[in-house]
A and B are shown apart, each in its own frame.
Chain A
Amino acid sequence: MTAPTSPILDAHVPDGPIWAKWDKHRFDTNLVNPANRRKYDIIVIGTGLAGAGAAAALGELGYNVKAFTYNDSARRAHSIAAQGGINAAKNYPNDNDSIFRLFYDTVKGGDYRSREANVYRLAQVSNAIIDQTVAQGAPYAREYGGLLDNRSFGGAQVARTFYARGQTGQQLLLASYQALARQVGLGRVQVFTRTEMLDVVTKDGRAAGVVVRDLVTGEISSHSAHAVVLATGGYSNVYFLSTNAMNCNATAAWRAYRKGALFANPCFTQIHPTCIPVSDEFQSKLTLMSESLRNDGRIWVPANPDDPRPPNEIPGADRDYYLERQYPTFGNLVPRDVASRAAMRMIEENRGIGPLKNGVYLDFADAIDRLGRETIEERYGNLFEMYQRITDEDPYTVPMRIYPAPHYTMGGLWVDYNLQTTVPGLFAAGEANFSDHGANRLGASALMQGVADGYFVLPATISHYLSDWLNVDPVPTDDPVFVEAEAAVTAKIRRLLDIGGTRSVDHFHRRLGHIMIDYCGMSRSKEGLEKALDEIAALTEEFWRDLKVLGDNESMNQSLERAGRVADFLELADLMVRDALDREESCGGHFRVEHQTEDGEALRDDEHFAFVSAWEWEGEGVAPIRRKEPLTFENVELTQRSYK
């Protein structure tokens, strides 16, 4: 299937050598004078690293900011759950790291499907992130001399990852949340908790504001502003089971898409190799075991799939350390996409382990022999504890069982160099945009991007847009555009409540998850994807006929909240599958079985697919249009990744 196409997209990347672009751009950007900033209203949706950071930074600059989150506190955004760490090009360990190396590793790790200029800027501001968060009190791990400690992560040969035990996301988010709280105390930012954005409102083609629902009272209301920032996270929950928090959803980004913002690379999703396998049919989410474990753990399955012995009694000769066998150079430390596909093949060949035969072993016995239990405890203690709590097995004595799970979405709203979507005045930051990770994200770089976007990039670029609207009031919320948007939101809620069918929201969400993981997960084929399109359409039809949501709109109604989100996931799933069909190559997390090397590795097609696919909504029931942003590589040479 080839989608119809239309004009090429301009990312507004500044001219000049890559290292000078950001400086030049900031110089060329129109400013808003400090005394004028209070004349501007800005809406930020989301209070994760990207959103809380943006709201705090914009508040500090003097703008009037309103921030929204569906959580009961800004501090609970999903960023809180990040474990392993955050990258920066500080080169504190003196191991030859540099801005250019961080840039290079990120472009290569993304399998050459990201925009060079954005990635370079990310590497450039990475150091300021560490400086800033230390000043805000983030208690990073330190050496005995009092200086910062670093660890290494997948896809890099240097130690550039800063961390706060296994709780780096928590400590970074708390730093941003506290900066935000300070602005709230000072009256510069207003935070609306338990409030969900349900639509973006545009007037004359530019962003005018949003429609939100109060999750406690059900009240639907509008807020207008000069600019709107979406920092609403990723959409891994389209798979139902993922490592994301239960409430993560795509509604904000999807509503923006339906209002004219392009959606980029929707099929680029990351399946993380080390998660705890599913244990029963009521499973509600999957838990990540940090990538750092692969530094010391060895992955294997029994050579004989029917071996009846417990794992510790199976001798080395009867085990298949398949990663070490297939990838002798990188062994257990191959990148996430490669490790995930290898595990998947084991299960497909019926070589899985555990009660449901749905996992592979991650074994620390050798490491404990070599380093002693104490060292392993120091390195991974909190992860081992979490594993034991969930599985009731002791990973010090019995190998961990792991399996890949949906974890991160590289796709998202298309943004230009300014983080502006194709709707003027509508910006997207953090995991919600598509910008920096290409077809595969390296570990410890999502936190980096979230903070970079919120603290440093957006506050610098948004002024250019705002400067045109000095002394122009935002569109009043009684303008017909708001009245109509509110009516549409109310009508959709009514429609969901009135179906009166027999099946719960979760029932549909689970079934959608199965379709997506089977056909648009770790490996994808033309045949499977075409089947998925039909199945999604049938499921969508059934959803709108047989859904059962009890209660009303006028009070807290968690089933209703979920119903709206699943309705949007169904539409997004369709777009993901179209994108996966359209991209006739394999790259990073997108593995099309038709496009692989002789030994089963992803085969890119740079000649035909070195571009960003940006999809444009054409209306209900009409196929979307795929537009292109060509990717040019002037600073990094395209090579075939090999980990053999």
Chain B
Amino acid sequence: MDVRLRVWRQPKGDVTGEFIDYEANDVSPEASFFEMLDQVNEALNHAGEDPIAFDSDCREGICGACGLMINGSPHGPQQGTATCQVHMRKFTDGQLITIEPWRAAAFPVIKDLVVDRSIFDEIIESGGFISANIGSAPDANAVPVPHTAAESAMDAAACIGCGACVAACPNSAANLFTAAKITHLNLLPQGQPERYLRTVAMVETMEEYFGSCTNFGECETACPKNISIDVIAWMNRDFVAAQWKNLLKAGQA
């Protein structure tokens, strides 16, 4: 099959970018989206033009490195699927495909389709962990975890940190990402001692860099791991409860 591409090209972060049109001919419908781009890059290299830069590593939808805005949808046309798992058979012969990087102030472009998502690491560093020093753990079965709690924690923990939720949000909010980690840890017995500290620290760090959530729900649709927007409700509940606890501590309620 043949497709036409309109690709965002930007040589460096501090240089303005533009769309450039390319053609991808004789693409196998069995090819993945990135294999199609590999093929385009091979041709560009041959023609002496700088290949298109994009992040991609596992190509199995689990590392979270990839993420392209394809025709205005984060990760493209297939629900619950990361860019690397989208195949060309999802497009039609001759179709025009527009490819852009994530657009968010907190994710500056590094080159072409590559963005800097290191603020996500900062959110985790502020509290997205359980402080259990290595060597100090009790027997793994000492604390039973209800089956359903473990399953719900796993649903939230499936987040791959790709940033699609931020890219999809009209406010560029990172609530789905932050709430997924808070929910994962706050649902488990092991996460209880730091539950409120964690929630406040992570929410505050998030708010320093990202926009506010106004419940559009675009994040849920965009998420390649189908993380439910319910996690945001869990986060908000614990955040409010944490404030309440502070008031109590200060004798104000």
Which A residues contact B (CB, under 8 angstroms)? 53, 56-57, 60, 71-76, 78, 80-81, 90, 92, 127-128, 130-132, 134-137, 139-148, 164-165, 167, 170-171, 174, 177-179, 181-182, 184-185, 191, 193, 216, 245-247, 279-280, 282-285, 287, 386, 389-390, 392, 455-456, 459, 502, 504, 506-507, 548, 550-551, 555-556, 558-559
- Bound together, the chains give a CA A57 to CA B136 distance in angstroms of 12
A245 to B60 CA separation, bound complex (whole angstroms): 8
Query: Which residues 22-41 in B have Cβ within 8 Å of A in the complex?
Result: 28, 30-32, 34-35, 38-39, 41
The B interface is mostly helix, strand or loop, or mixed, namely loop
Q: In the complex, A137→B154 CA distance in Å?
A: 10
Complex interface: chain B residues within 8 A of A76 (CB): 57-58, 63-65, 161
With A390-B87, A548-B45 in contact, do A75 and B129 touch (Cβ < 8 Å)? no
Q: Does B81 contact A (CB under 8 A)?
A: yes
Give the interface segment out of B113-121, B165-173, B215-223: B113-121
**Chain B contacts of A164 at CB under 8 A?**
154, 157
Q: Is the CB of A135 within 8 A of B190?
A: yes
Residues of chain A lying within 8 A (CB to CB) of residue B63: 71, 76, 78, 80-81, 245
Q: Which of B11, B120, B160 has the most CB of A within 10 A?
A: B160
- In the assembled complex, how far is the CB of residue A141 from the closest CB belonging to chain B, in whole angstroms? 7
Q: B53 touching A60 by the CB < 8 A rule?
A: no
Q: Is the CB of A132 within 8 A of B137?
A: yes
Q: List 13 A-B contacts (CB under 8 A).
A: A56-B134, A72-B118, A75-B121, A137-B129, A137-B190, A181-B125, A280-B28, A284-B34, A284-B59, A389-B85, A456-B135, A502-B46, A504-B45
Task: Assess whether B185 is interfacial by the CB under 8 Å rule.
Answer: yes
Measured between alpha carbons, how far is A174 from B161 in the docked complex, in Å? 11
Q: Which of B65-86 contact A (CB under 8 A)?
A: 65, 78, 81, 85
Contact with A146, one of B34, B49, B146 (Cβ below 8 angstroms):
B146
**Complex contact B145–A146 (CB within 8 A):** yes
A130 to B116 alpha-carbon distance, docked (Å) = 34
- Nearest residue (CB) in A for B39 is A282
CB distance from A524 to the nearest CB of B (A): 28
Extra A-B contacts (15), CB below 8 Å, given A80-B58, A143-B147, A504-B46: A75-B121, A80-B63, A128-B135, A130-B140, A131-B140, A145-B144, A170-B62, A171-B157, A179-B129, A179-B134, A181-B129, A279-B28, A280-B30, A390-B87, A550-B45
Task: Tell me whether A459 and B125 are in contact (CB under 8 A).
Answer: no
Is the beta-carbon distance between B117 and A78 smaller than 8 angstroms? no
* A167-B132 Cα distance, complex, nearest whole Å: 22
- Given known A73-B118, A142-B145, A386-B60, contact A182–B111 (CB-CB < 8 A): no
Q: Is the CB of B129 within 8 A of A136?
A: yes
Residue pair A178, B124 in contact (C-beta under 8 Å): yes
By the criterion CB–CB under 8 Å, are A81 and B141 in contact? no
Q: Is the CB of B147 within 8 A of A146?
A: yes
| Contact status B132-A135, CB under 8 Å | yes
Residue B191 is within 8 A (CB to CB) of chain A in the complex: yes
Inter-chain CA distance A141–B129, complex, in Å, is: 20
Residue of A nearest to B31 (CB): A282
Is there contact, CB below 8 Å, between B38 and A139? no
Residues of A within 8 A of B62 (CB): 80-81, 167, 170
User: Is B184 part of the binding interface, using a Cβ–Cβ cutoff of 8 Å?
Assistant: yes
Interfacial chain B residues near A56, Cβ < 8 Å: 134
A216 to B118, CA, bound (A): 13
Inter-chain contacts of B251 with A (CB < 8 A)? none
Instruction: Please determine whether A73 and B51 come into contact, CB atoms closer than 8 angstroms.
Output: no
Q: Which residues of B contact A90 (CB under 8 A)?
A: 140
Task: For the complex, give the distance between the alpha carbons of A128 and B139 in Å.
Answer: 8
B144 touches which one: A137, A147, A456, A502 (CB < 8 A)?
Answer: A147
Q: How far is the CA of A455 from the CA of B133 in the complex (A)?
A: 10
With A90-B140, A140-B150, A178-B124 already in contact, the answer to whether A455 and B134 are too (CB < 8 A) is yes
Q: Which residues of A contact B3 (CB under 8 A)?
A: none
B56 to chain A, nearest CB (A): 6
The answer to whether B64 touches A279 (Cβ under 8 A) is: no
A75 touches which one: B34, B87, B137, B161 (CB < 8 A)? B161
Interface residue? B131 (CB, 8 A): yes
Instruction: Check if B55 sits within 8 Å of A72, measured CB to CB.
Output: yes
A182, B190: Cβ atoms closer than 8 Å: no
Does residue B101 face the partner (Cβ distance < 8 Å to A)?
no
**In the complex, residue of chain B having the shortest beta-carbon distance to the beta carbon of A246:** B57
| Contact, CB under 8 Å: B56 / A134 | no
In the bound complex, CA of A544 to CA of B32 (Å): 30
Q: Does B125 contact A184, Cβ atoms closer than 8 Å?
A: yes
The reply to whether the CB of B237 lies closer than 8 angstroms to some CB of chain A is: no
Residues of A within 8 A of B12 (CB): 555
Taking CB atoms, residues of chain A closer than 8 Å to B28 are 279-280, 282
Q: Complex Cα distance A457/B113, Å?
A: 40
**What distance in Å separates the Cβ of B120 from its nearest Cβ neighbour in chain A?**
7
B96 at the A/B interface (Cβ < 8 Å)?
no
Residues of B within 8 A of A287 (CB): 59-60
Report whether A285 and B59 are in contact in the complex, using a CB–CB cutoff of 8 Å.
yes
Instruction: Assess whether B129 is in contact with A284, with CB atoms less than 8 Å apart.
Output: no
The 4 closest A-B pairs by CB, nearest first: A146-B144, A135-B137, A178-B129, A135-B132
Find the A residue at minimum CB distance from B186: A137
Q: B137 and A131: CB pair below 8 A? A: yes
Give the complex CA separation of A558 and B111 in angstroms: 11
Chain A residues with Cβ below 8 Å from B46 are: 502, 504, 548
Minimum C-beta distance from A409 to chain B (A): 17
On chain A, the residues within 8 Å of B139 by CB distance are: 131
Residues of the A chain whose Cβ atoms lie less than 8 Å from the Cβ of B230? none
